Amino acid sequence: MKRARPALDATSIRAMQSIYAAAMLEELKLFQVADRLVELFQSGTLPIARGVAGEQLYRYAKTSRDRLAAADRRTLYARTLGIGGHQTDGRRNRDFGDLWMRFLASVAALARQASATDLTRLAEDVHRAGRDLAANLSAHGNGLAYYAARELHTQIELITELLSKAEIRSAYGARDLWQVVDKVAALELGGASNITRQRTMATAGSAIIAWLARRARDLAGPSRLVLKVPVSARPSGRGGARPSDADLVAACEQWLSVAVVDGERSPGHSPGDPTWSPRPVTQQPTV
């Protein structure tokens, strides 16, 4: 019997781009850092004067009840991406980890292959793996997840804008928002993550999902040549907006390079494990 082609909805896949980025930034403690700064500001122990940063902190605090709580975010990540061990009432996306790794590995294999003999087979592998991953993302990025994704996207933009303010950076002697995250996490939240590594996985992962959304129609069709990258092709730099085939290859290679440490898969990267949690890098999700 001929296999039915999966329904791929580009809008739902793009929603998963925002959820994935949020899950990766959660590992960086981005949301916790923002909440902690609000607490310090409310207690009067954050050394900033009245000004733009103070106004933004006040508005962020006032609207906290309208945002997803930490527990709700983690439930969302588990249900849509299978990330983390949060309670999901059995509705966990258990397939994402394996599908993700299969697609990234197939793209990397095609990009490295110089023999024309194997190109067709490898291109077919990319098509099948991409179609299956896109179908999984499409199925989990609709309904409530779609609206949660929009909310998370807005919240990430608010936080990154806030942490980039000169007053906040000056208070921690930081040159950019990522140093603020690193220092606040270390001082106030029991330790910081590997910022560079985490950001790389978030950014690369976001670009990969954006490519899947952009090529959803091609992936759902009969063609086996959805990815054609000349050896000399260079990334366009569009990242999470409108990634080219070369951008996809670069993102897959970047993600895989930081997901493996000292020749072994890093802790939390066990596809198929219910608690699989990529330790990322993000467009906003470009961060």
DSSP output for 268-282? T--TT-TT-------
Nearest to 97 by CA among 127, 68, 140: 140
Amino acid at the residue 243: P
Residues in the chain: 287
Please spell the DSSP secondary structure of 165-228, one letter per residue.
Answer: SHHHHHHTT-SSHHHHHHHHHHHHSS----HHHHHHHHHHHHHHHHHHHHTHHHHHSS-S-S--
Residue 207 lies in a domain: yes
User: Is position 231 within any domain?
Assistant: yes
Q: Look at residue 281 in the predicted model and tell me its pLDDT.
A: 33
Count the domains in the chain.
1
pLDDT at 265 over 60: no
The confidence score (pLDDT) of residue 285 equals 40
The pLDDT assigned to 279 comes to: 37
Structure tokens, 172: 């921690």
| pLDDT beyond 70 at 239 | no
Helix (H) or strand (E) holding 264: strand 264-265
Q: Which of 28-42, 122-136, 142-156, 268-282 has the lowest mean pLDDT?
A: 268-282
Cα 217 to Cα 70, 151, 191, 238, distances in angstroms: 35, 26, 44, 20
**Does residue 279 belong to any structural domain of this protein?**
no
Determine if the peptide bond prior to 285 is cis (ω within 30°). yes
Per-residue confidence (pLDDT) for residue 152, from 0 to 100? 95
Mean pLDDT on 62-68: 87
pLDDT given for residue 237 in this prediction: 64
How sure is the predictor about 119, in pLDDT bands with cuts at 50, 70 and 90?
confident
| pLDDT band, residue 272 (cuts 50/70/90) | very low
> For residue 230, what pLDDT is reported?
59
pLDDT band at 195 (very low <50, low <70, confident <90, very high): confident
- Least trusted range by pLDDT, from 10-19, 37-46, 125-134, 271-280: 271-280
The arithmetic mean of pLDDT across residues 110-116, rounded, is 71
pLDDT given for residue 277 in this prediction = 40
pLDDT of residue 246 exceeding 60: yes
Residue at 285 is within a domain: no
What's the rounded mean pLDDT across residues 105-111?
90
**Domain assignment of residue 271, yes or no:** no
Specify the amino acid at residue 274.
P
The domain of 230 spans 10-265
Q: What is the pLDDT of residue 118?
A: 73
Q: What are the angstrom distances between the C-alpha of 144 and each of 14, 92, 139, 140, 250?
A: 14, 15, 12, 9, 32
User: Tens of pLDDT along 17-38?
Assistant: 999 999 999 988 999 999 999 9
209 contacts 264 by C-beta, under 8 angstroms: no
Whether 97 and 273 have beta carbons less than 8 Å apart is answered as yes
| Lookup: tokens for 14 | 């793009």
Residue scoring higher pLDDT (99 or 225):
99
* φ and ψ of 218, to 5 deg: -65, -40
Does 284 map to a domain? no
Q: What are phi and psi of 261, to 5 degrees?
A: -120, 125
The structure's pTM equals: 0.84
Cα–Cα distance between 250 and 282 in angstroms, integer? Answer: 14
Which residue is it, tokens 């054609």?
228
Predicted confidence at residue 3, as pLDDT, reads 52
Residue 267: pLDDT over 50: no
Number of C-beta neighbours around residue 221 at 10 A:
14
Average pLDDT over residues 150-163: 94
In a domain, 287, yes or no: no
What's the N-to-C CA distance of the chain in angstroms?
46
Q: What percent of the chain is predicted at pLDDT more than 90?
A: 53
Report if residue 258 sits inside a domain. Answer: yes
What number is the average pLDDT over the span 146-160?
94
Asked whether the predicted pLDDT for residue 250 surpasses 70, the reply is yes
